[in-house]
Amino acid sequence: MVATLERTRPGRATPARARTARNRLRVLGFMAPWIIGFSCFFAYPLLATVFFSFTGYDLLTPPEWVGLRNYAYLLFGDPVVRIAAVNTIWLVVVLTVLRVVFALGVAAVLARVRSGVGLLRTLCYLPALAPPVAATLAFTFLFNPGTGPVNGLLGLLGIDGPLWFNDPAWAKPALTLLTLWGSGELMIIMLAALLDVPQELHEAAALDGAGPARRFWHITLPSIAPVLLFGVVNSIIFALQYFTQAVVAGSVASGQAEVVGSSKVLGYPDNATLTFPAWLYQQGFHYYNMGYAAAMAVVLFVFSLGFTALLIRRMRGGTNAEEVS
């Protein structure tokens, strides 16, 4: 009786509790690399960015607390950030729609090819392997208004080609073409999703008299809805972080590529290629307004997180409603 009471005393660990504690320590040991990486490369930089956003910091002197002054200037005082935000929103809307539609269209074509499919898939995916700087340099050469082959071919067809990267009205569409050309990664994901759609559903719908368009709308799209959601979210994040291609294209088109990212060529032509991340970089590492740049980074992070969470929630709500009906 005494021994039994000793073993079940509340302060003493039972074998089951000790086993549970060992299992938790074992799991924690396996997760330690991820926890360390998450803490060092995400949690700490995020908290530090939030702190610096409330300070005046130039990387040389200790940060000085300024409260909400950076956010007030961002929302009401900086005229250039509005231009950068409008350009970024334009890229988010246009790139998201066209990138998903283009990748899905190419994947749908490749899914129907029967001969030489391996070669075609490789050729469609290869542009995604090109480094962003090299791809942008190649595109600025191809779309050069005076010597580029694109305007040369358009001239043979009797079409007067635009100035592309040298025209504020055509600079963002040219960047969009560059992005579509390098969307092979999303295309491969879409292709895998299309090939995974059960053919029995298509065959049953065809027997019921459904045409290709109706089968695609009512069978293919609902079957690949999670992949489409991933493509939309991925494209939104990609557009919100659009930096390298815009900076390089503007610098090369201006004829001053040796000073890429300088204030003289940033956003050329006429701030048409100035994106929110580019202006953030300019403020932090050219003007040394690191506190203001941190505030811009926080706003960009909150906007990205909120927009993505809202999109995922609405997509899941629509999927659940379809399943209930």
pLDDT, residue 12, reads 55
Nearest alpha carbon to residue 275 among 300, 253, 292 = 300
Residue listed under structure tokens 């330690």:
32
pLDDT beyond 90 at 257: no
Residue ranges of E strands in the chain: 55-56, 64-65
Share of the chain above pLDDT 90, in %: 61
The pLDDT tens digits of the residues spanning 69-92 come to: 999 999 999 999 999 999 999 999
pLDDT at 6: 47
Q: What does the alpha-carbon distance between residue 291 and residue 307 come to, in Å, rounded to a whole number?
A: 24
Instruction: Quickly count: other Cβ atoms within 10 Å of residue 75's Cβ.
Output: 13
Tokens of 135: 């791809």
CA 209 from chain centre, in angstroms, equals: 40
Report the pLDDT value the prediction gives residue 262, as an integer from 0 to 100: 56
Calculate Rg over the CA atoms of the chain: 27
Structure confidence at residue 45 (pLDDT):
94
Write the single-letter amino acid at 42: F
Exposed / middle / buried, residue 22 (Cβ in 10 Å: 0-12, 13-18, 19+): exposed
Nearest to 295 by CA among 41, 57, 38: 57
Average pLDDT over the chain, rounded to an integer: 87
Structure letter (DSSP) for residue 325? -
pLDDT of residue 320: 55
Kindly report, residue by residue over 195-237, the tens digit of the pLDDT.
Answer: 998 888 888 888 888 888 888 888 899 999 889 989 999 999 9
pLDDT value at residue 5: 45
Residue 5 backbone phi and psi in degrees, to 5: -65, -35
% pLDDT > 70, the chain:
90
Give residue-wise pLDDT tens across range 19-71.
888 888 898 999 999 999 999 999 999 999 999 999 999 988 999 999 999 99
Summarised one tens digit per residue, pLDDT across range 132-148 is 999 999 999 999 998 89
Yes or no: say if 191 and 111 are a contact pair by the CB < 8 Å rule: yes
